[in-house]
Structure 1
Amino acid sequence: MTGVVNPALSAPALPDAAFEARLREVLRSRVEFIELIGDDLVAAGGKRVRPALTLLSAQALGAAPTGPRWSEVLDLSVCVELLHSASLLHDDLIDDAQTRRGHQAAFRRFGNVVSVMSGDFMLARLLTLLSGMPGGPALTRAFGETASVICEGEVLQFQVAAYAEYEQEHYLNVIHGKTAALTELAASSPATLLGAPDAQREALATFGREYGMAFQMQDDLLDLAGDEALIGKPVGGDLREGKATWPLLFLLNGPHADEVRAILERRAAQGGDVERVRALAEASGALEDTRAEIRRRARLAAQALDALPPTAARDALVALAEREIQRTR
């Protein structure tokens, strides 16, 4: 029949004005400072990668923006964004950050207590939303477990730097906690909401986990070897915090291990430290080794989606994973 568009092949829905409106509605509060932080969150926007994963995964499972369950899918994507945003409010305070998404960090504008409690307010709001959803208990457990992993990842990162425990296992656990646990939840939670088969839920969980690992590894690579004009900040931030990312771990297993360890332990405090490590990483093959691992993870993510039927939403998820191989900021 001509003139009819197959919904499975049409352009998939992404976070849009309806998402932003629902996010603003959920963040409503009678307390002005909480309202202002919520308004900043909506106005700042950002890439909305995590709620996009939720919306795309739901569509890959057959949900549609015109379907009867889309409001539940939209609320689930809002919950994912709230968990992410709450963690960012806490992270900015921990990291003593100046800005977030081009604006003054919330704790600098409103103070530590307001910022932390506003993050807790977001967590409370998402729990309220989850409680009313089909599969609420399972979803609440999944969000709670993910929040625990995020906390453990952040603390482990500081522990590794404090003890100089530069090991690949620690690094992988850290980036899983920092990033991949939440992308795994974002991608797999629609399967729980919609009652999809276990095989499809596992496929989306694998996609989200491997995509998140590739995403964070690319971020870490750019922090050492990126173009400052493109990434919008000075390179070498991880070195200055004593964080041994994948290319640093490569160097710590090579002939320059003692020199690199010394730079890590003094937090790149001497002039030329960052440039020296960057040069060593380039010459030794550490950067290419990191790029190879990013490609491997991105391909694992894409391959996991073979368990789902072909749709435009599945193609969009694959494209997200493949984009990490070439991302420059």
Structure 2
Amino acid sequence: MSLPPLPLDTFEDRLREVLRSRVEFIELIGEDLAAAGGKRLRPSLVYLSMRLLGGQDAQAHDLAVAIELLHSASLLHDDLLDNADTRRGRETAFRRFGNVVSVMSGDYMLSKLLVLLGNLPDPGAAQALTRAFGETAAAVCEGEVLQFQVAAYGEYSLEHYLDIIRGKTGVLIELAVTAPALLLRAPHAHLEALRTFGREYGLAFQMQDDLLDLASDEATLGKPVGGDLHEGKATYPVLLLLDGPDGPEVRDILERRASRPEDVERVRTLAAVHGVFGASRQEIARRSRLAVQALSVLPASPARERLESLAMLETQRVK
């Protein structure tokens, strides 16, 4: 049995409806969000999880929109913090409209998702989801600040790295797959299975992004490689190098934010010499397998197969 198409057109319509505002600048930023499209990974995960648990697509629309609003608000804030010029090939909101408009538009999105959650018909589920969204938003903020703290103090460690990428990516993917379980009051075992899937898939996803930032090339990525080094971020392959014989040299490069023209290529060379790209791919594959294994307690279905495929595709994704 094949999986029917996900209702992403309906999702896009609902997203536009929720983002309507009488204030033109907010409306324009909302329209940019709706028009940007992209993979819509997180909304897709909401629909797949809902189907896996036996729910209906119609029950998932507002959850999918709420997830995307939280994700998009974090991106508006991230672009400002990172002083980014573009996002998906378009000028960032704060470049177009200024800092205040960008930040307040992100806050507007957070406010709108609270309204969506408050309008859910089951008060108990609404309370559980509001708590989950609040905890996720807090984790995103902690991950972002921890990333700056680690770079500032040079406190590079695997523990910190995993905390950062869970806050950066993992918690939103966890929320996308567990929100339907909270809405449907699914059995605890199913909720925890989806939570584990989301955590491991989210970590694998961000680790693959981080690996590509160093191991790929500009033509494939669509942007220069080594961006994380320029920001003083020690990703998984770099952490492996820090633990090796060339660790002091790599730490120096990190601490000067790869400011010399040869720095990024030097780290890439060391990574190839010490085999850390291969070791990173093995860790990503391990996380992906853990995600797939977590779903074994749920009934086999086309939705489960799609979720499993998404997790295993991380080992092959090139951008």
2:147 maps to 157
Q: Does 1:131 align with 2:113?
A: no
| Alignment-derived partner of residue 64 in structure 2 | 77
Does 2:107 match 1:120?
Answer: yes
**Counterpart check, 1:212 vs 2:210:** no
| 2:315 alignment partner, SS class | coil
Find out whether 1:238 has 2:228 as its counterpart. Answer: yes
- Residue 182 of structure 1: aligned partner: 172
SS, match of residue 222 in structure 1: helix
Taking only the aligned residue pairs, the percentage that are identical comes to 66
- Alpha-carbon distance, 1:13 to partner: 3.8
1:27 and 1:81 mapped to 2: Cα distance?
11
* Deviations 1:89-121 (CA, angstroms, capped at 9, x unpaired): 000000000011111000000110000000000
Aligned equivalents of 1:15, 1:114: Cα separation in 2: 31
Counterpart residue identity of residue 134, structure 2: G
Contact 1:15 1:48 in 2 (8 A): no
**Equivalent residue number for residue 52 of structure 2:** 60
Task: Give SS of 2:155's match.
Answer: coil
Please tell me the residue identity of whatever aligns with 2:63: L
Question: Residue type of the partner of 2:30?
Answer: G
- 1:90 aligned to 2:77? yes
Partner SS for 1:166: coil
**Aligned counterpart for 1:40 among listed residues 32, 42, 49:** 32
Query: 2 CA distance for matches of 1:310 and 1:13?
Result: 18
Q: Measure, in 1, the Cα distance between the counterparts of 2:53 and 2:295.
A: 11
Counterpart amino acid of residue 74 in structure 1: H
Residue aligning to 1:5: none
Matched letter for residue 205 of structure 1: R
Q: 1:258-297 counterparts in 2 under 5 A?
A: 258-297=248-287
Measure the CA separation in 2 of the matches of 1:253 and 1:116: 39
**2-side partners of 1:301 and 1:169: how far apart?**
20
2:22 aligned partner = 30
C-alpha displacement of 1:283 = 1.1
Q: Number of matched residues?
A: 316
* AA partner of residue 261 (structure 2): G
| Aligned-pair CA distance for 1:282 | 1.1
Matched, 1:192 2:182: yes
For residues 17 and 291 of structure 1, the distance between their equivalents in structure 2, rounded to whole angstroms, comes to: 34
2:134 match: 144
Distance 2:268 2:289 in 1: 27
Q: Deviations over 1:267-291 (max 9, x none)?
A: 1111211001001011101111110
Letter in 1 for 2:21: S
Distance 1:117 1:215 in 2: 29
Residue 110 of structure 1 corresponds to which residue in structure 2?
Answer: 97
Structure with the larger helix share: 2
Shift of 1:12: 3.8
Name the structure 2 match of 1:50: 42
Which ranges in structure 1 are unaligned for 5 or more consecutive residues?
Answer: 1-8
Shift of 1:15: 4.7
1:169 pairs with 152, 159, 165, which one? 159
Match of 1:6 in 2: none
- Conserved in 2, the CA contact under 8 Å of 1:150 and 1:178? yes
TM superposition shift of 1:228: 1.4
Give the letter aligned to residue 30 of structure 1.
R
Alignment match, 1:11: 3
Q: CA deviation at 1:307?
A: 1.1
How far apart, CA to CA, are the structure 2 residues paired with 1:266 and 1:33? Answer: 38
TM-score with structure 1 setting the length: 0.95
Structure 2: segments with no counterpart, 5+ residues: none
Which amino acid letter does the alignment assign opposite residue 77 of structure 1?
A: A
Q: What letter is aligned with 1:303?
A: Q
The alignment partner of 1:324 has SS state of: helix
The one-letter code sitting in structure 2 at the alignment partner of 1:221 is L
Q: Distance in 2 between matches of 1:280 and 1:295?
A: 22
The one-letter code sitting in structure 1 at the alignment partner of 2:11 is F
Give me the whole-angstrom Cα distance separating, in 1, the residues matched to 2:233 and 2:45: 28
C-alpha distance in 2 between matches for 1:58 and 1:12: 13
Which of 285, 296, 316 aligns to 1:326? It is 316
